[in-house]
Structure 1
């Protein structure tokens, strides 16, 4: 599939990431509907990284980001991203981005960009995982959950629509397919965009950032047999998010997202993960904490 043959959902997502420049270092973006009625955290993180990346020299790619989610985003209102050029050194550029809606900050991000250079080399090995083509698609994964009554049709439709731009396949059943059965707090998914992309490295990094917020807290839910926000047996949101981009990768080629949770306590749960290319190269490390609460009757 060529970039000219992309499905509409991926085109819509790429349009979402193509921010409007409204002033020097000020950008504006729109939102799309998510699984729950608020701005999806991965979207605002990806858009903020787009804004930062458009202010750095072309030979510098993002190597890390650290972000905090401050307020719930309004899907119906534009988001304004202001970029602060903290520093441009000989090898590194640092940027701070604040996302604003209705006059208030809803998110802020610090990102660092680095010119490639040679150095020491080692990595953790890729864990075992089945080939992605042998795994069920998102729609096929939803069928048993829907049949078992864990999820109504409206919720299933919202989930499929929210993830239509990404081909995401679970190695084992997702939280909404394991309600009431606690499991080891570990989850693996393969993902790639649902069509080919251009060669722009920033675009691939921003799309991986977008997807990284979809499933990272799944291991927390699995440890307690909870289905998550889609089934309504917990309520929550991302609190902070950090990523380190180690090696080149393409978001339109299969990536293994190997996720675990070392702890949940005090209404918060921690997810940590590594993302590998199909040939075993460690591309990204990710950590996120979220607030996760059990609704009161």
Structure 2
């Protein structure tokens, strides 16, 4: 086993692609591997990415995923692989629809529906990309954590500084370090640390995983709370993602997030992802549990 300090960017990104590459058990059943060295609860973005890859493996022709909607039901356990059962609900000339159930110990932990479309033209418009500093002017999130290690617990320090296939540079202070109430808005640049020599299906699966990174924390910003606070019980409840254009996850992407509402122990969050040229490549939305514990 290679020591984590020896892992190169290519090895980290290769590991991410292997994590998303589910193995067939039958024509419509697949198994997703556990994250090497993973402990505790499975990262929700991993389950979404693997479920999407399971659906992709049942699609023929040139159709690409344009939207997905997922509901989290139970936390996944890092000690076990995850099985994915796919139902082919519809195959038309332009669109196809797939339903996926992710299971551990024969119990569903996530339901996902994905729609695929054959590329075609049409009317086109988009909002402008926000004016934010470029990634070259910002600090790597891991480097920020090393400079402010005294502000977070040792466990969260290890989380933020462990070798990762994704490079993240936040606009302003990362959510892990915010303690004062502020606007419910957040932005960060991200990309894989090495080139991704893969097709558009896999680029979109990596993006699906990445969209779950910081979305839920945005709804806590107006309240001066952090996900790691001991009196906060937080978990993703659902996740929706729309792909507008082809994605290159190995080039910088700007992820802007906002939270227009919280209430009833839930927080609602929205996100937009732009490429360096200012093209809106994807949009997402998520509602999460943000329960105050006694």
Q: TM-score, normalised by structure 2?
A: 0.93
Q: Aligned to 1:11, which of 14, 17, 25?
A: 14
- CA distance in structure 2 between the partners assigned to 1:238 and 1:20 by the alignment: 26
Counterpart for residue 201 of structure 2: 202
Which residue does the alignment assign to 2:165? Answer: 165
Number of residue-to-residue matches in the alignment: 287
- The residue number in structure 2 matching 1:135 is 138
Hey, what does 1:224 align to over in structure 2? 223
Distance (whole Å) between structure 2 residues aligned to residue 138 and residue 7 of structure 1: 19
Decide whether the 8 Å contact of 2:145 with 2:160 is kept in 1: no
Instruction: Say which is worse superposed, 9-18 or 63-72, in terms of deviation.
Output: 9-18
RMSD: 1.7
Q: Determine the structure 1 residue equivalent to 2:156.
A: 155
Runs of 4+ in 1 over 4 A off after TM superposition: 33-36
Q: How far did residue 31 of structure 1 move?
A: 2.2
Measured after TM superposition, the shift of residue 208 of structure 1 is 0.5
Shift of 1:32: 2.1
What residue number does 2:47 align with? 44
CA distance in 1, matches of 2:232, 2:252: 30
Match of 1:94 among 92, 97, 100: 97
Cα distance, 1:34 vs. partner? 9.1
**Which whole-Å deviations, capped at 9, do the CAs of 1:178-206 have from their partners, x for residues lacking one?**
12x00100000001111101240011100
User: SS in structure 2 opposite 1:47?
Assistant: helix
1:255-288 alpha-carbon deviations (Å, 9 max, x no partner): 0001000011011001101100110001001000
Unaligned runs of 5+ in 1: none
* Number of the residue aligned with 1:269: 267
Displacement of 1:144 in angstroms is 4.7
Q: CA deviation at 1:33?
A: 7.0
Does the CA contact (< 8 Å) of 1:35 and 1:159 recur in 2?
no
SS in 1 for 2:293: coil
Task: Return the alpha-carbon distance in structure 2 between the equivalents of residues 278 and 144 of structure 1.
Answer: 28
| Residue pair 1:42, 1:211 contacting (<8 A) in 2 also | yes
Give the match's secondary structure for 1:273.
strand
Provide the rounded CA distance (Å) in 2 between the counterparts of 1:216 and 1:35: 21
Does the 8 Å contact 1:144/1:177 carry over to 2? no
